[in-house]
Amino acid sequence: MNVAEDARNLFLPAACASCRSAPAAGTGLCADCAADLLALRPILATPAVRAAPPVVAGGPYAGALAEALNEYKERSRRELAPALGGLLGRALAVVTAEVPNALLVPIPPTRAARRSRGFDHVATACAGLGDLRSCLRARARPDSVGLTPAQRAAAARKSLHAVPRRTAALAATARPVVLVDDIVTTGATFAAAAALLREAGIRVPAAIAVAAA
């Protein structure tokens, strides 16, 4: 987000984040693309990394959902947060049917990603869905494109760390944790995050993502 972009958003009606051919309503999407997202049903993703908890995603990373997620992340279109959060909410409903009383732990952005977007995109999307506990931090890591699942798992383990004071407080609640991320691919990030929380004595029976690649 920069001043020029802010100004453009202020004075011109923004295009739909998905099809770009129609003006967006306040949701960042046109009516047709908003309906496409609403028509999605949660899917069970099967992570290639076996140590990952089971993941329920709001839908497949394709079509309107992929477009909207990219615009949200890469162009900081925060107005898409409620639509994407709605998908997380439906995924969460599937999980909480089996895991009641869960706390939500978002996968953190690296400091650089947060700075360039201007906000924490995962935490923002799941605001209002439940009791959010940000107890993980991310260090910079190399782009995971082209890495094997084993290499991704190693990179994810190296990148994430827990804030001990916060994980201790979380463990003291004795409540289970549902991890939250934007996209699940191999499940390496979820596996690494779950391992850190489990080391602190926290149960991590499931994870949710906006989309499954």
Question: Of 19 and 66, which CB lies nearer to Zn ion in the complex structure?
Answer: 19
CA angle, 175 as apex, 84 and 87 as ends, to 5°?
Answer: 10
Binding status of residue 48 toward Zn ion by CB under 5 A: no
Binding status of residue 16 toward Zn ion by CB under 5 A: yes
Question: Of 15 and 51, which CB lies nearer to Zn ion in the complex structure?
Answer: 15
Binding status of residue 191 toward Zn ion by CB under 5 A: no
Determine contact, residues 129/89, Cβ cutoff 8 Å. yes
**DSSP conformation class of 107:** P
Pick from 1, 15, 19, 154 the residue near Zn ion by CB under 5 A.
Answer: 19
Residues in contact with Zn ion, counted by CB under 5 A, come to a total of 6
23 CB-contact burial (10 Å; exposed 0-12 / middle 13-18 / buried 19+): exposed
Binding status of residue 15 toward Zn ion by CB under 5 A: no
Question: Of 33 and 80, which CB lies nearer to Zn ion in the complex structure?
Answer: 33
Among residues 187, 178, 184, which one has the least CA distance to residue 89? 178
CB of 32 to Zn ion, least distance (A): 5
The region of 28-36, 54-62, 160-168, 188-196 touching Zn ion under the rule CB under 5 A is 28-36
**Which positions lie near Zn ion, rule CB under 5 A?**
16, 18-19, 22, 30, 33
